[in-house]
Structure 1
Amino acid sequence: MTQQSESTSTSTTVRDADEPAALSPFAPPVPPLAEPRPLGEHRVWPRTFHDRLTAPLPGLKAMARFAREGSVRPGRESLADIPRLPFEPGPLPRVDARTVAVSWAGHASWVVRIGGLTILTDPVWSRRILGTPARITPVGVAWNALPPVDAVVISHNHYDHLDAPTLRRLPRDTPVFVPAGLGPWFRRRRFTRITELDWWEAAELDGVRLDFVPAHHWSKRSLTDTCRSLWGGWVLTDRDGQRVYFAGDTGYGHWFTRIGRRYPGIDLALLPIGAYNPRWWLSDVHCDPEEAVRAAQDLGARRMAPMHWGTFVLSAEPVLEPLTRVRAAWAKAGLNRENLWDLPVGGSRVLLGRR
């Protein structure tokens, strides 16, 4: 089990169980934030990012067990709850350059309005993605209702997060911010403003800072490209210091504490709560609802908005279970109910700013 240290130039072997020591008074100081890198910089990356994995990928025995048990989808009774999934599309809120607002289009796709920009996260407006049944809730924000898109951030290359048909709808000069190694995919599709970042690196667009941060996950899009590009989340910060953390796809682990220390004062954490059963198969790469609440606390986030549930049926838990469990975990942790933004697909919320 390997992970990269906060300096991206070296790797060390560390287990999550060792992490509490980093929270002691003797913990090393948090490194300063990196200077923003030039937009569109052409860079050469390693051939593989296997050394960034925080858990080994499933081997043949695990895959044989998964095939034998067949626990890929919820039972018929659980699927009967699909009509009860929260879906309340509404108009996007009006914002100004000092207002932060988020609208959930479904799954990991958000319309983030920050610093006067409109930024899409992992945009998937398609009805169907490869290898998965069609979406069980419609897209919550109509494409023609979007304001001009100023930028796109991508967490990793899995099909439910990187959707070619959706991205084809964008002008090719739209700025895209992507993990290291994913630039060629966009260049083949004639995008012209591509910024690739490594963990803990940043770029800046019109006064909004975009930091790429680690996640407990992996990447793969074909039979031959496993871990050839990086994976991670994004911290978006405006001129007033308002911060939104988009986790992408991730399991629970030590990175949340490190991200929270390095980016204090996260106003809103967009955290995944679905696609977690069977646990023995998915725990390394997908948080369950209780772990997502712990992650929000590790981050020191003021608010949490759940995502990555109620859109595509990717695993075996009942379709409504992530919502009921995250609400129960939030209450059990004694957290303010108003700070759990459990939005319906299509829902929006506006941050009260730091004015």
Structure 2
Amino acid sequence: MAVTAPVVVSIPAQRAQEDNKEAGGLAPLAHHKKKGGFVNPWDSFTDQGMSPFVLWQMWRDWQSHPIPPPELLPQIVPVNWGQSSSASPAETAAWSKDLKSTWLGHACFLVEWPTPEGAPAGTRGARVLFDPVFSNRCSPSQYIGPARVTKPPINLKELPHVDAVVISHNHYDHLDVATLKHIASQPEGTVHFFAPLGNASWFTSTIGVKKDQVTELDWWGERDLKVKVGEGEGTEAHLRITATPCQHFTGRGLHDRNDTLWASWAVTSPTGGSVWFGGDTGYKSVPRGATSEEGLPVCPAFAEIGRRFGGFDLACIPIGAYSPRHIMSKVHCSPEDAVELHVAVKSKKSIGMHWATWVLTDEEMTEPPKRLRAACEVKGITPDQFGVCAIGETVRITPSLPSV
């Protein structure tokens, strides 16, 4: 089929402003600094900064944890995008009605929505790629910085055509120049990039995309995306993409801290299938020397997300890079925090991400899923409701009724 450009439809600005006024009782732009840049506007965030001494201590602690042997790390499986090559027509029809999510390592997921109603057999659904990073190092340079411990399950050239790329924030383990340049080399104009406020100029200057190929959104801002996924009638897929709040920070250099916004994302479809992508986020701020995390203020944004959307078929929630707690808790969830997010956003099925790809913090690399399972058991949450998957594995979910 001839590939055409996705169409982005604006939602009235007044609606986004009215929604923002409801968010936790905050003023509409409480996360905006008066002179530019952004802040976390909740009691759950305390910014103590990171002095060179603290960073040196963290680096020293990282070195004290040897990388586990490959057999203890996440399994890497062949990618089949959830469909067997020997599938029967009935199996293929069932596959086309499902929401399909493939973990490509760290925070990268390729999600394919159900085929549009009435589309011919074999027509795919809309594809959204979240936070793709295929480079070896999450660093300004591919010569220094954290190198991958687990590899992507496919070569970047094997990535299928994607309709939209959604970026949570500009840290190097979520925003990668080489990966995005490759994706932007799809037939001109056939992929659209979504990112939080302040990132559009980076995409045009660094990745080289045109202005009409990138949309930046504030928290609660949303756009409708129309994608042609086949020939003829009934082959236009519709998605609604909404930037939702989270608790984090940004910066790619020494002098741009919080100049751009960070976000989680909700992507929903009128044909069924709703996904919440957590990006990077903390949930609370744990003081140094704390013996318990009970009673600390928690970020109210996630309960608000759950209330507004009424729940999600799938949530991708970070479970790693949380230690030491007095430093990392404000910007990265522990597995126990991740379970609270799963409950707050009312997810039917959640997959743990942001672990075992790079050594970023000082917890042992195989610890996050163990703590996740223990925390889920306390809440009565089954492995099928919240767990982890293999790198390259496609998880299929039967979508709920249309959510928009």
Q: TM-score, normalised by structure 2?
A: 0.73
Question: Could you say which residue in structure 1 is the equivalent of 2:174?
Answer: 161
Question: Could you say which residue in structure 2 is the equivalent of 1:140?
Answer: 153
Question: Could you say which residue in structure 1 is the equivalent of 2:265?
Answer: 234
CA deviations 1:318-339 (Å, max 9, x no partner) are 0100011111111221112222
Q: Percent identity?
A: 34
Q: CA deviation at 1:147?
A: 2.0
Question: Could you say which residue in structure 2 is the equivalent of 1:113?
Answer: 112
Q: Secondary structure at the match of 2:109?
A: strand
Tell me if 1:244 matches 2:275: yes
Question: Could you say which residue in structure 1 is the equivalent of 2:311?
Answer: 265
Q: CA deviation at 1:179?
A: 0.4
Question: Is this contact kept in 2: 1:89–1:141, CA < 8 A?
Answer: no
Comparing 344-353 with 305-314, greater Cα deviation is found at 344-353
Q: Secondary structure at the match of 1:168?
A: helix
- Partner amino acid, structure 2, of 1:272: P
CA deviations 1:125-181 (Å, max 9, x no partner) are 111121632111110233233221111000000010000011110226320001011
Q: Secondary structure at the match of 1:292?
A: helix
CA deviations 1:193-233 (Å, max 9, x no partner) are 01110000111112111110001001101122111110011
Aligned counterparts, 1:60-99, within 5 A = 63-68=52-57, 70-73=59-62, 75-76=64-65, 78-90=66-78, 91-94=80-83, 98-99=97-98
Question: Could you say which residue in structure 2 is the equivalent of 1:318?
Answer: 364
Question: Could you say which residue in structure 2 is the equivalent of 1:190?
Answer: 208
Q: Secondary structure at the match of 2:182?
A: coil
Tell me if 1:221 matches 2:230: no
- Partner amino acid, structure 1, of 2:348: R
List runs of 5+ in structure 1 lacking aligned partners: 14-44
Q: Distance between the aligned counterparts of 1:302 and 1:50, measured in 2?
A: 31
Q: Distance between the aligned counterparts of 2:260 and 2:75, measured in 1?
A: 34
Question: Is this contact kept in 1: 2:31–2:38, CA < 8 A?
Answer: no
- Partner amino acid, structure 1, of 2:374: A
Question: Is this contact kept in 1: 2:244–2:305, CA < 8 A?
Answer: yes
Question: Is this contact kept in 2: 1:260–1:300, CA < 8 A?
Answer: yes
Q: Distance between the aligned counterparts of 2:194 and 2:381, measured in 1?
A: 33
Q: CA deviation at 1:63?
A: 4.8
Q: CA deviation at 1:354?
A: 3.3
Partner of residue 200 from structure 1, selected from 204, 213, 220 = 220
Question: Is this contact kept in 1: 2:244–2:264, CA < 8 A?
Answer: yes
Question: Could you say which residue in structure 2 is the equivalent of 1:26?
Answer: none
Question: Could you say which residue in structure 1 is the equivalent of 2:380?
Answer: 334
Q: CA deviation at 1:72?
A: 4.2
Q: CA deviation at 1:268?
A: 1.1
Q: Distance between the aligned counterparts of 1:162 and 1:51, measured in 2?
A: 21
Distance 1:269 1:8, change over 3 A: farther
Structure with greater Cα Rg: 2
Corresponding residue pairs, total: 320
- Partner amino acid, structure 2, of 1:75: S
Distance 1:349 1:69, change over 3 A: closer
Q: Distance between the aligned counterparts of 1:219 and 1:147, measured in 2?
A: 29
- Partner amino acid, structure 2, of 1:123: P
Question: Could you say which residue in structure 2 is the equivalent of 1:28?
Answer: none
Distance 1:70 1:222, change over 3 A: closer
CA deviations 1:76-118 (Å, max 9, x no partner) are 4x42344421223221124766431100000001111125111
Q: CA deviation at 1:267?
A: 1.0
Q: Secondary structure at the match of 1:169?
A: helix
Q: Secondary structure at the match of 1:101?
A: strand
Q: TM-score, normalised by structure 1?
A: 0.83
Comparing 100-109 with 171-180, greater Cα deviation is found at 171-180
- Partner amino acid, structure 1, of 2:29: T
Distance 1:303 1:99, change over 3 A: same
Q: Distance between the aligned counterparts of 2:175 and 2:264, measured in 1?
A: 14
